Amino acid sequence: MKTFLFFLLALTTGFAQPRPYNVTKADTDFLDSLQRDTFRYFWDTTNPENGLTPDRAPTRSFASIAAVGFGLTSYLVGVERQYVTRAQAAERTLKTLRFFAKAPQSEKKSGITGYKGFFYHFLDMKTGERFKEVELSTIDTALLLGGILSCQTYFDKNTPVETEIRQLAEQIYARVDWTWMQARKPYVSMGWHPEKGFIPADWKGYNEAMLLYVLALGSPTHPVGEEVWSAWTKTYEWATFQGQQHVNFDPLFGHQYSHVWIDFRGIKDKYMTSKGIDYAENSRRATYANRAYCMANPGKWQDYSATIWGLTACDGPKDTTVAGRQFFSYRARGAASMQQVDDGTLAPTAAGGSLAFAPEICLPALRAMKAKYGDKIYGPYGFRDAFNPTYRFPSAYALGSTANGWFDIDYLGIDQGPILLMAENLRTNFVWNLMKRNPHIQKGLKRAGFTGGWLK
């Protein structure tokens, strides 16, 4: 039996004292199989020639550059857990980085992969070219870079392959022109289209963009000014929701994505210093609030409970209204002070992505979902993306509909990644400890004003 430390629930501001959470043998066996199965999504579905990972599977799909980022870090976990060899992971990583380093970049509308160092949100799985008219995505580029920089730090041997990985990682990161993407300074725009220019929205309010701004601040070539961080934190929504005081954002992924790569425990910026907590504690409180909302179940949805919960961005049955109830297909679901988007659809990644913050509620949830729904929700690649026990309308066509509810047939790369990687952070701190050694991450955090803890 192993003991992991975490912060227990605190309803007041400030830290609760760390207490041990005892992971049982059954928990360990469950995590072993969950990580191994989830890893296979990235290893088996990725195009081995260019390293592109599909947005989803088994439904035929375009590639997601964010899924590639999660996949790159997943390969490192695969080495550590002996799913693949270091040489196999290095070979896959090198092909991926060679593709992104050499892929055409220009302001053209088609036949290209990116521009100004950024990459398009979705790419053709085979050619790697822009998929239809998707945006040049700042956040998805940042998630890709999280994976790339993890490989830069991990592959530290003086071999030709690992040396080239480090060089290509530096080249790809240094090429990103963050200042060009500041259409409305000091903020960074959400993206750009060659057809119509910058997206008329910036990264404001607490969300998954912490990693984006850390990378923009840490850039060795085109860094944004230090004022961006304080400007960004001024747009936060601090509120009490379901008994938890924290910076609110309704879908849980916004409290998880940046934390996959950065250990925010014990380090604080000026904003969090004023609140007496850190961002890891904030994410733990958000996880508890999400669960509490589902337990209260104001919508009276089927099966919601202390162990069946989790609202975040995910697939859904269909955009429709049936029997007076509104349902959605893919959508950011969530619950916070500013809004609640809840159609009875739950996603295992909501609990999975918070494993490292709140194992005492997340592990029982994942185990309960697998036990209750079996192969309807859990398959060869781990948890399928989402399920809706209330949607029992087979006649109102939605793929996956049954008389016992709707169950997704797909796995989504951006939802599989946090499950695998946050499980590893819970168990060994592996990704967190790895990224603490990356000088770009260190620089970005310090320029954002973070102090204390491991940054000393």
Share of the chain above pLDDT 70, in %: 96
Mean pLDDT of 30-53: 98
In a domain, 217, yes or no: no
Whether the pLDDT of residue 4 is over 50: the answer is no
- pLDDT value of residue 8: 38
CA distance 133 to 129: 11
Computed on alpha carbons and rounded to an integer, the radius of gyration of the chain in Å comes to: 21
Assign 395 a pLDDT band (cuts: 50, 70, 90): confident
Give the pLDDT of residue 228: 98
In the DSSP assignment, the letter for residue 315 is: -
Cβ neighbours, 10 Å, residue 395: 6
Residues 95 and 197 in one domain: yes
- Give pLDDT, residue 399: 82
Strand partners, 6: 19
Residue 37 lies in a domain: no
Can you spell out the DSSP letters for 210-256? HHHHHHHHH-SSSPPPTHHHHHHHTT--EEEETTEEEE--SSGGGGT
DSSP output for 38-76: HHHHHHHHS-TTT-PPBSEESS---EEHHHHHHHHHHHH
State the average pLDDT over residues 194-209: 97
pLDDT at 6 over 90: no
Looking at the structure, do residues 437 and 391 belong to the same domain, yes or no? yes
Q: Is residue 230 part of a domain?
A: no
- Residue 449 within a domain: no
pLDDT score at 20: 60
Q: Identify whether 317 is preceded by a cis peptide bond (ω within 30 of 0).
A: no
The CA distance from 371 to 25, in Å, is 16
| Alpha-carbon separation of residue 295 from 290, 291, 313, 358 (angstroms) | 9, 6, 19, 16
Are 125 and 251 contained in the same domain? no
Q: Is residue 57 part of a domain?
A: yes
| pLDDT (0 to 100) of residue 18 | 40
Q: Are residues 111 and 59 in the same domain?
A: yes
Same domain, 268 and 364: yes
**For the chain, how many structural domains are there in total?**
2
Residue 142 sits in the same domain as residue 15: no
The pLDDT value recorded for residue 357 is 95
Q: Under DSSP, is residue 358 helix (H, G, I), strand (E, B) or coil?
A: coil
Structural domain containing residue 174: 46-212
Give me the pLDDT at residue 19, please: 52
Query: Is the dihedral angle over the CA atoms 426, 430, 431, 437 positive or is it negative?
Result: positive
Q: So what's the pLDDT on residue 134?
A: 98
Are 426 and 323 in the same domain?
A: yes
Structure letter (DSSP) for residue 403: T
**What integer pLDDT is reported at residue 50 of this predicted model?**
98
Q: Of the residues 194, 212, 230, which one is the last residue of a structural domain?
A: 212
Q: Is 132 in the same domain as 246?
A: no
Q: Across residues 242-268, what is the average pLDDT?
A: 98
Query: What is the pLDDT, as a whole number, of residue 14?
Result: 37
Q: Write the CATH number for 163.
A: 1.50.10.140
Read off the pLDDT band of 346 (50, 70, 90). very high
Question: 134-176 pLDDT, tens per residue?
Answer: 999 999 999 999 999 999 999 999 999 999 999 999 999 999 9
Task: Please state, in angstroms and as integers, the Cα–Cα distance from residue 370 to each residue in 21, 146, 248, 375, 384, following that order.
Answer: 21, 30, 29, 8, 10
Regarding whether 63 and 196 lie in a shared domain, the answer is yes
Indicate whether 354 and 418 sit together in one domain. Answer: yes
pLDDT digits (tens, 9 = 90+) for 114-134: 999 999 999 999 999 999 999
Q: Is the pLDDT of residue 10 over 70?
A: no
- pLDDT band for 109, please (50, 70, 90 cuts): very high
Residue 217, pLDDT above cutoff 60: yes
Q: Which pLDDT score is estimated for 11?
A: 33
Which two tokens mark 401? 């509909």
* Predicted pLDDT at 124: 98
| pLDDT score recorded for residue 13 | 33
**What is the rounded CA–CA span in Å between residue 303 and residue 233?**
37
Q: What is the mean pLDDT of the chain?
A: 95
Confidence of residue 302 (pLDDT cuts 50, 70, 90): very high
Inside any domain, residue 339: yes
Task: Give CA–CA dist 432/263, Å, rounded.
Answer: 5
**244-247 and 325-327 strand pairing:** unpaired
More confident residue, 100 or 404: 100
Residue 1 lies in a domain: yes
pLDDT attached to residue 21: 73
| 226: its two tokens | 């230090």
19 and 50 part of one domain: no
Q: Is the pLDDT of residue 24 over 90?
A: no
Confidence of residue 453 (pLDDT cuts 50, 70, 90): very high
Q: Is 8 part of a structural domain of the chain?
A: yes
pLDDT above 50 for 1: no
* Phi and psi, residue 244, nearest 5°: -115, 120
265 neighbors 284 (Cβ within 8 angstroms): no
Check whether 260 has a pLDDT greater than 70. yes
- pLDDT(5) > 90: no
**pLDDT of amino acid 41:** 98
Q: Which one, of 387, 349, 316, 409, lies nearest residue 38 by Cα?
A: 349
User: Which amino acid is present at 452?
Assistant: G
- Residue 15: per-residue pLDDT: 39
The answer to whether residues 45 and 99 touch, using CB atoms and an 8 Å cutoff, is no
Residue % of the chain over a pLDDT of 90: 92
Whether omega before 186 lies within 30 degrees of 0, making that bond cis, reads yes
Same domain as 120, residue 57: yes
For 100-120, what is the mean pLDDT?
Answer: 98
> Is the pLDDT score of 3 beyond 50?
no
